[in-house]
Chains A and B, each alone.
Chain A
Amino acid sequence: AQSVTQLDSQVPVFEEAPVELRCNYSSSVSVYLFWYVQYPNQGLQLLLKYLSGSTLVESINGFEAEFNKSQTSFHLRKPSVHISDTAEYFCAVRLTGGGNKLTFGTGTQLKVEL
């Protein structure tokens, strides 16, 4: 069975500073990788995904994540955060071999401060 680890439950950061949210996964077979964001009192939104091809994927709001197969990681980064990035971020995996079950990490609360 696959699993996802997000070691940081909370990450405080000042506005305009860079941030990295860590995600490691465990799976005996290949997976698709996702980052979801949940803004306060809202539902989950897909931020970005890795399916195949380039290991570096980007979102429209400046976040990027890099798939590292050897380290089984999919860390999320942004070079300069904004107050509006304050949210809960969930990393998730799904097996490539069929089925649609998403396995989520426990989430990282990103709090951007002035």
Chain B
Amino acid sequence: SAVISQKPSRDICQRGTSLTIQCQVDSQVTMMFWYRQQPGQSLTLIATANQGSEATYESGFVIDKFPISRPNLTFSTLTVSNMSPEDSSIYLCSVVGRGSYNEQFFGPGTRLTVL
């Protein structure tokens, strides 16, 4: 398994500002993902964080709004830019560990509230 930590665990932000969420894994992983869980809804994949190259975004998500970095095999960041109240969600990092190709592990999530 993989142990994943996220920072911050929660935040309250003002409209128009940006927040960067960090995801740290305790071991090298092949793939990392960022999901969003809006209030009362299921998880939606935002993008795949690719090590050493640009992230791959899902339909409806763009790099300008959700820039992602992945400088190495254990760390990634997601920035939520120019926030609005509609961005209030839980943002989760997930990974597929080496040797566990079929299993995704999830971080504890970052609960974001935009006022």
Contacts and interface: CB of A to CB of B under 8 A. Distances in A.
Interface of A: 32, 36, 42-46, 49, 51, 90, 94, 100-102, 104-107
B: contact size bracket? 20 to 34
Nearest to A44: B106
Contacts of A51: 102
Interface in B13-64: 31, 33, 41-45, 48, 58
B106 A43 contact: yes
Contacts of A100: 31, 33, 48, 96, 104
Interface of B: 31, 33, 41-45, 48, 58, 92, 94, 96, 102-109
A101 B42 contact: no
Contacts of A49: 102-103
A101 B103 CA distance: 11
Residue of A43, A45, A106, A107 ringed by the most chain B CB atoms within 10 A: A43
A102 B108 contact: no
Contact of B104 (A102, A105, A106, A107): A102
A44 B4 CA distance: 11
Contacts of B31: 100
